[in-house]
Chain A
Amino acid sequence: MTAATTAPVRDEDDGPTAESGDPFDRDQLPAPPGATGTLLRSLLTPMRGRVAVTALLLLLQQAAVQAGPLLVAYAIDRAVPAFRADDNGPLIAVAVGYLLCAVAAGALQYAFVTASARVSQDVLLDLRGRIFRHAQELSVDFHERYTSGRLISRSTTDVESLRELLEEGLQELVMVTLSAIYISVLLLWLDLGLGAVAVASFVPLYLLIRSYRRRAVRVYRKRSTAIAAVIVKFVETMNGIRPVRAFRREAANDADFAVLNRRHERTNGDALLEMARYVVGSRVTANTTVALIVLWGAYRVADGSLELGVLAAAVLYLRRLYDPIDRLGMFLNSYQSAAASLEKIAGLLAQTPTVPEPVRPQELPERRAGLPGREVVFDGVRFAYRTGGEVLPRFGLTLPAGQTVAVVGSTGAGKSTLAKLLARFYDPTEGRVLLDGVDLRDLTGRGLRREVVMVTQEAFLFSGTVAENIALGRPDATRAEIERAAKEIGAHDFIAALPDGYDTDVRKRGGRISAGQRQLVSFARALLADPAVLILDEATSSLDVPGERAVQRAMATVLKGRTAVVIAHRLSTVEIADRVLVMERGRIVEDGSPSELIDRTGRFADLHRAWRDSLA
């Protein structure tokens, strides 16, 4: 938890920075100092009451457990002499007392374990939910910079290491500490001298733990880096298994793997060695102390200044004191990795969306009757990445309601940035994007998505049925509405032919859907959503010609009756547009109807010719 305080505060006004200095290249995102502590507090505060109850259960449980040796002392020093004198009352008391303590210890143990599990599970639930929601709220530009893999490992591996600590480490740690305190107090109370010797043994033990911790942290860090490298390699190999095989990377991968594994093995060995040193050291200290106390205690029993039962209790307590210390080292490790994970999570949660919700949201005027769609105006818009590169120099553009606009241009011309501004995946650096006169920034996320929908190139299907995938467009749609949308798009026939029709799971065998069919599903999704403005990033990947025709028919259906912006890659798409924008290096260089532009001798005319030739 120390690194959080030393992590640099994020500079909001950072100018153009070298790519290597991009904080998003690292696992640990920059976070304000103390973010980890704040996160921890905010997680635990609502649980205060239950944490207190859990702690109380633990206090009682330890009290019941630690009563044992005291009863032994009582039995030897009082009950035996009393029994000899035909008074079996004390012995019965010992028997009953022991019985009660045993049952209480067991019952309290059960209560404590379940209570603490409930607290830790609730904390984890809260944390998982927060990471998930936060990741979903962060803007697309964040997701484009912070790779998906890292984001996924924040909410899986890192949460997992916290779970390990909470489930296995933390309660043990607290238990050990608590029993150490109980036992020290009891020992001092039983006999000040013996107690003092026991307490004195804490000094070498503390030094031992400290030096182990220091060295273990180093070894452990090395080890976790080695593990991470192995995992990354493994995941990549599995994901890219086709290319790996195809590019004879297998041998190279195996070699890489072997190196990484050896490193892992070595650091693992180091960790075990440290552990062994620690265990031996703590045992030697513990046994020396026990021997000293037994020796000194025996002398004192012999000369009558100490009762035998008290010595017995002291020795029993000492054993209990030292036994769990072996395991302390193990918990320190899980503590270490959990702290690092928590820090990374705090860094993620400290990111703020660059596309915030409005403070005072505005309502859009009712859709004007008779007019399809809504008017879109780019008013003096300029867009530059925060790292400095200007993508779109200042421009103005008005798209009347109902118009279908095709945007063409080479890769990197700024087409998709234009689309993303309209979808409010980004906010403009300067200027405004207006929808029927209302700034997009003044609309709530929900209100905006009712009006503006973007269909992206990657026709990603979520696990679930085909119907569910279409219903993503409007979750409250009935089955009949879903089927109607699919029919209009022309997807009904292939869906009906799937093994379970609309209920086919797209991730199961037999549910395999081709690229063209995927696009049809995503169009059906958009049709169901029925937005005023549709942005369509046409898939560049080509289908076979019949598939392409089906997609084109579907596109015509989905574009009808709304304002549409299509990032077009195909001549046939451009031909159904009312208006074409040709973009080059962030600027709109040509603007007109397709036939107008063909007649001119500009970029579009060239493009058109190339297209025509490619179809020959």
Chain B
Amino acid sequence: MLLRMFLAFPLTFLLVNGVTILVGVSIMLVQDWTLGLVILVPAAPVLITCVVFEKRYSGAARRAQDQVGDLTTVVEESVLGIRIIKGFGRHRSQARAFRELSGKLRGTELHKARLLATILGVIVTLPELAIGAALVLGAVRVADGSLSAGTLVAFLSTALALRWPVDSIGFLLAMSQEAATATERYFEVMDAEEESSASAGRRAAGAMGVPPLERHDCPREHGLVFENVSFRYPDAPAGSPPVLHGIDLHIRRGESLALVGATGSGKTTLTALVPRLHEVTSGRITLDGEDITEMSREELRSRVAVAFEEPTLFSASVGENVLMGGGAGADDLGRALAVAQADFAHALPQGVDTQVGEQGLSLSGGQRQRLALARAVVGRPDFLVLDDPLSALDVHTEAAVEAALRRVLADTTALIVAHRPSTVLLADRVALLSGGRITAVGTHHELLRTHPEYAHLMSGDPAAEQEYQR
């Protein structure tokens, strides 16, 4: 915003005024160099003041912007958490936090204003004093005849004409300072968001525009393979253990594998590696024998579809949101909605053309999850990665989704993060992830019998197991 404003207007004016000042000063020196020098005397102090205060001003501007950020956080939280605030009747403490922060912001803004006022005061006073001196000196010289009255008038009018450009320079500099701070911010965000895509383009040129591969034209023995995959967050402190370590997994073509593990065992991270939301630190992941880092992003994402536990819907219609996953037309849409038991979409005010978005606040968590699931299956992907996609559904809906999903999974290679036996049972096999390693692979019943940790995760503590299974 500030950046735009700066580029749009002040920059132009800064240039125009700069040139005006240069030309004006040269004219004055030509007209009468002694008077010209008198006029130039305050230039140095003005410049120094500007530089000194500019620095302080930019500090204050940065602080003010940070405080606006804090204030925005409070506003956002108080809006997003409105039900909790209302549920506990805590408007007052939120309002107090807000008041404190906005009071602080006011303090900073006033500090900024005082700095600006000082700069403006100096910029107004010093040149004016110089003009006054030139006037008196000029008048004396006109009186003793060494200067004509006309030259004095011309000189003074040039000097006064420069007053405005000089004045405005202070104001424009203040504005450019804010723009500079904003630019800094902008680049902070941009730097942070940059993705390590070193190898992304390796094959991209060739693969661009290639339609998704036809199904079944790859040998069956392939599928989704993790080979000695390790992962640690790039910004993790040195020496901390990796999130995932030496993962070897082979999901055969058409097979579905459930991934089970305690909170924090790295399940979600593992699923995020397949669509390359994170890059593996070492090892490799292949789809039908092909390393995912060798694929263009377009190709990878047209073959792998994902649904996460906390789905995001975009500001678009329900239909558009679902069809982002691929597929085309009403048939695919209808089928995907049916699989995900998201037929409620047809009953929305404008059916599938109803606008959702801005986090889809008007839909319940379960509805959002079902739309996200529909988005994952609509493109009939070769590979499906689901991170606990049914967690927010009630029992009935879950059972219905499971029944429909089972048909989809019959011929799709899938990796499913599961928390509950019912979800695990969707898959052909289960892998247990523990402390960043795969510690067991087998069927649900095998592991339940042979693996105490798995039994614990699936049925709670051993004592309660009986009660649960009765």
Contact = CB atoms under 8 A, between A and B. Distances in A.
B87 A83 contact: no
A147 B110 CA distance: 33
Contact of B132 (A69, A95, A125, A137): A95
Contacts of A442: none
B179 to A, nearest CB: 12
A425 B392 CA distance: 23
Interface stretch (A43-51, A210-218, A247-255, A429-437): A247-255
Interface string B408-425: 000000000001111000
A282 to B, nearest CB: 13
B124 interface: yes
Contacts of B40: none
Interface centre among A412, A425, A546 (most CB of B within 10 A): A546
Interface string B156-173: 110011011100100100
A514 B264 contact: yes
B354 interface: yes
A540 B392 contact: yes
Contact of A125 (B68, B106, B359): B106
B80 interface: yes
A72 B157 CA distance: 10
A68 interface: yes
Contact of A457 (B109, B365, B393): B365
B128 interface: yes
Interface string B387-409: 01011111111110000000000
Contacts of B297: 248, 250
A39 interface: no
A327 B168 contact: yes
B117 A548 contact: no
Contacts of B302: 248
Contact of B157 (A109, A252, A316, A450): A316
Nearest to A318: B157
A319 B161 contact: yes
A430 B124 CA distance: 69
Contacts of A446: 89
B93 A475 contact: yes
Contacts of A125: 102-103, 106
Interface centre among A95, A542, A614 (most CB of B within 10 A): A542
A355 B315 CA distance: 29
Interface string B347-369: 00110001001110110111100
Interface stretch (A114-122, A195-203, A363-371): A114-122
Given A132-B95, A243-B311, A542 B136 contact: no
A397 interface: no
A79 B143 CA distance: 9
B117 A544 contact: no
A524 B84 CA distance: 13
B228 to A, nearest CB: 24
Contact of A147 (B9, B81, B139, B358): B358
Contacts of A204: none
B324 A249 contact: yes
B277 interface: yes
B421 A132 contact: no
Given A99-B132, A312-B156, A327 B13 contact: yes
Contacts of A242: 272, 277, 308, 312
A614 B156 contact: no
B248 interface: no
B121 interface: yes
Contact of B117 (A101, A109, A160, A445): A109
Contacts of A460: 77, 80-81, 83-84
Contacts of B164: 319-320, 323-324
Interface stretch (A7-15, A148-156, A558-566, A588-596): A148-156
Interface string B1-34: 1001000110011000000000000000000000
Given A72-B156, A320-B160, A544 B263 contact: yes
Interface residues of B, number: 136
B427 interface: no
Given A19-B350, A113-B120, A541 B309 contact: yes
Given A103-B125, A246-B306, A109 B395 contact: no
Contacts of B324: 247, 249, 252
Interface in A444-501: 445-446, 448-450, 453-458, 460, 462-463, 472-473, 475
Interface in A313-332: 315-316, 319-320, 323-324, 326-327, 330
Contacts of B264: 514
Query: Looking at chain A's contact residues, is the secondary structure mostly helix, strand, loop, or mixed?
Result: helix
Contacts of A238: 193
Contacts of A473: 88
Given A76-B153, A475-B90, A94 B82 contact: no
Given A423-B87, A545-B419, A462 B394 contact: no
B181 to A, nearest CB: 14
A243 B314 CA distance: 9
Interface string A69-94: 10110011001100110000001001
Contacts of B156: 72, 312, 316
Interface stretch (A183-191, A268-276, A375-383): A268-276
B88 A148 contact: no
B125 A614 contact: no
A69 B4 contact: no
A368 B362 CA distance: 40
B78 to A, nearest CB: 6
A232 B315 contact: yes
B302 to A, nearest CB: 6
B227 to A, nearest CB: 22
A221 interface: no
Contact of A155 (B75, B83, B157, B395): B75
A610 B68 CA distance: 52
Given A117-B109, A449-B88, A246 B301 contact: yes
Nearest to A450: B89
B76 interface: yes
A549 B458 CA distance: 11
A156 B95 contact: no
Contacts of B86: 140, 423, 425, 454
B275 interface: yes
Nearest to A100: B132
Given A423-B86, A445-B91, 15 more contacts: A65-B124, A68-B160, A113-B121, A121-B109, A152-B75, A155-B75, A156-B72, A227-B1, A312-B153, A312-B157, A412-B344, A454-B83, A463-B77, A541-B365, A542-B419
18 contacts: A68-B160, A83-B139, A114-B113, A117-B112, A117-B113, A117-B116, A117-B117, A128-B102, A132-B95, A133-B91, A155-B75, A168-B171, A248-B302, A272-B12, A454-B83, A475-B90, A542-B390, A544-B457
Task: For the complex of A and B, list the 3 residue pairs with the smallest distance between their C-beta atoms, beginning with the closest.
Answer: A449-B89, A106-B125, A117-B113
Interface of A: 18-20, 65, 68-69, 71-72, 75-76, 79-80, 83-84, 91, 94-95, 98-99, 101-103, 105-107, 109-114, 117-118, 121-122, 124-125, 128-129, 132-133, 135-137, 140, 143-145, 147-152, 155-156, 160, 167-168, 227, 232, 236, 238-243, 245-252, 268, 271-272, 275, 308, 311-312, 315-316, 319-320, 323-324, 326-327, 330, 410-412, 423, 425, 445-446, 448-450, 453-458, 460, 462-463, 472-473, 475, 514, 516, 522, 525, 529, 535, 540-549, 569, 607, 610-611, 614-616
Interface of B: 1, 4, 8-9, 12-13, 68, 71-73, 75-91, 93-95, 98-99, 102-103, 106, 109-110, 112-114, 116-118, 120-122, 124-126, 128-129, 131-132, 135-136, 139-140, 142-143, 149-150, 152-153, 156-157, 160-161, 163-165, 168, 171, 175, 193, 260-264, 272, 275-277, 297-298, 301-302, 305-306, 308-309, 311-312, 314-315, 324-325, 344, 349-350, 354, 357-359, 361-362, 364-367, 372, 375, 388, 390-399, 419-422, 456-461, 464, 468-469
